[in-house]
Structure 1
Amino acid sequence: MPTLTATPSALPDFADALNAHVWRAGELGSASVQTVATGYAALDQALPGGGWPQGALVELLLPQAGQHEWGLLAPGLARALNQPATPDEPGAQLTALVGAPYLPFGPALGARQIDMRRLISIHGKPGNAPSLLWAAREALLCADVAAVLAWLPDARSAHLRRLQIAAHAHHKLLFVFRPLRAQNESSPAPLRLLLEGAVEEGGNLRVHVVKRRGPPLTAPLLLDTRAPRLAALMLASRERARLKREETAPLFLPVTSPLSPVHALLDRIAHLDHH
């Protein structure tokens, strides 16, 4: 019987190869995960692999559907949909919207480099959650679909697990939106984010990383998800309002100044008393 002998010099290389595939709970997940950059540097740094994972379920918890989805996802989707074609990735792929509460505004998405003609919107009957789950899974199986965005408020863990398996098998971007009440439920999603609107100078969206493959993130991330053109218009509008307030504000002068209205009134009273 032939025997195999491991030389001492080969053992460290073998150990390094094994360690490369071992994830330590105190570290972010392996960089071998293929991702798409989110478009936000702070968020990329907080996510395993540095972006949205391809072939995995991303669960987004929202206080109200239709408020923050596109601002957060548009930069990454634009990258995924506009990447050059390769033999494995034909390019010019589609995004499927399943159960979207509102149709997105075309010009706003166009400003973010997303072509509305490459979006497919799938609607089900009100209250018929199984039909939406079926549609989301079928979209993940479609070769022409690069990403699936599904609004599934009534989905359960078992349903999400099937979607996770399909996304992994077909290497698709998958985002599922659920209400805040679902945050205490178990979920197979390797990445769960809670979104919260903000009105601050540095941004308009707080992102709480509820679950990731790595250590907990103690503080939320503050992102500015407004389109650059819209942000510039809002800044210009605030500046115009400030200048207008300064132009119409009353001029406060010392009472002793001859130009002061109070000084003129006192002078008139004194003149009347003199007569």
Structure 2
Amino acid sequence: MITPHLHPTPESLHPSLWRASQLAHSSARCVDTGYPTLSSQLPGGGWPTGTLIDLLVQQAGIGELRLLRPALAAAASRRIVLLQPPHAPQALALAALGLPPSQLVWIRSTRSADTLWAAEQVLRSGSCGALLLWQNHARSESLRRLHLAAQCGETLFFMFRPLAAAQDASPSPLRLSLRPAAGGLDIGFVKRRGPQRDAPLFLPLSLPLTSSLLQQRHASLDRPLPVPLTARGVLPELVQ
């Protein structure tokens, strides 16, 4: 009797393998993006936890936090760390995005080395639901360290860098470019575990209802978050 030749699937050989014509299955837990059209384009159907997600933005403030709002709201049962944001986070704007200011930790540093050190410690601690890190420049060895640190837990880890960084190598399995478009964002797929997509995905984004919050006597939120923590002084609060 002749046994028919069997063709094993790539995933059955190793979880990191996938067919070039298909999106890979994610071995990590994924958080729903809140946007079905975007989720359908991502391996695992959402934002992967425990890994570096590289978001390459044309400029700050084009809607990148609105893009992440559903995922951050889902992660807000634990603290969300804002590390070296380009502007002082405003409590009113964050509350309008559904992010309670009491769950947010703002960290500021004057040295890039301290910023990267703090990011690594936050990731290794596993104590936070999400880490948002803004960096203009990062060396490849720093990216590798952060990617490895992220794998220590299930923290959502988004790193914002300029569009020009798309030309640099990165260990991140998911790299998206973000450009402003009328009524939303154009999202480019710089790197993903799946087929190449050349055309950007337009994602409509609604504006937060800040005016309605003000009318509901939330004027006390119309101020920056409390004084930020320093990078080297953050561990006693986060790692406990």
Please give the TM-score of this superposition, normalised by the length of structure 1.
0.69
What displacement does 1:29 show?
A: 1.2
Specify the code of the residue in structure 2 equivalent to 1:133.
L
Q: Rg bigger for which structure?
A: 1
**Equivalent residue of 1:207, what SS?**
strand
Q: What percentage of residue pairs aligned between the two structures are identical?
A: 41
CA distance in 2, matches of 1:155, 1:31: 26
Letter in 1 for 2:23: L
In structure 1, the gaps of 5 or more residues are 1-7, 82-91, 233-275
Secondary structure class of the residue paired with 2:24: coil
Distance 1:162 1:144 in 2: 18
1 or 2, which has the higher helix percentage? 1
Residue identity matched to 2:109: G
- What's 1:27 paired with? 22
Aligned residue for 2:79? Answer: 94
Which residue of the other structure, out of 192, 197, 202, is the alignment partner of 1:212? Answer: 192
Divergent runs of 4+, >6 A: none
Task: State whether residues 66 and 102 of structure 1, in contact with CA within 8 Å, keep that contact through their aligned partners in structure 2.
Answer: no
The farther-off stretch of 163-172 and 100-109 is: 100-109
CA shift, 1:158, in A, is: 1.2
> What displacement does 1:224 show?
1.7
2:222 corresponding residue in structure 1: none
Matched, 1:18 2:18: no
Matches within 5 A, 1:30-179: 30-81=25-76, 92-125=77-110, 128-179=111-162
Q: Is the 8 A contact 1:194 1:207 kept in 2?
A: yes
1:18 to 1:74, Cα distance in 2 relative to 1, 3 A: same
CA contact (8 A) 1:35 1:54 kept: yes
Secondary structure at the residue paired with 2:151? Answer: helix
The Cα RMSD (Å) is 2.5
Shift of 1:19: 5.2
Deviation per residue, 1:37-85 (Å, 9 max, x gap): 111111101010011001111101112223332111111110122xxxx
2: distance between equivalents of 1:42 and 1:60? 18
Distance across 1 between alignment mates of 2:90 and 2:206: 14
User: Which digits, 9 at most, give the CA deviation of each residue in 1:180-223, with x for residues without a partner?
Assistant: 12111111110001100012xxx321111110000111211111
- Structure 2 CA distance for partners of 1:141 and 1:219, relative to 1, 3 Å: same
Q: Secondary structure of 2:152's partner?
A: helix
**Aligned-partner SS, 2:116:** helix
Shift of 1:20: 7.7
Question: Aligned residue pairs: how many?
Answer: 208
Q: Which runs of 5+ in 2 are unaligned?
A: 213-240
With structure 2 as the length reference, what TM-score do the two structures score? Answer: 0.78
Task: With a CA cutoff of 8 Å and minimum separation of 6, indicate the structure with the bigger relative contact order.
Answer: 2
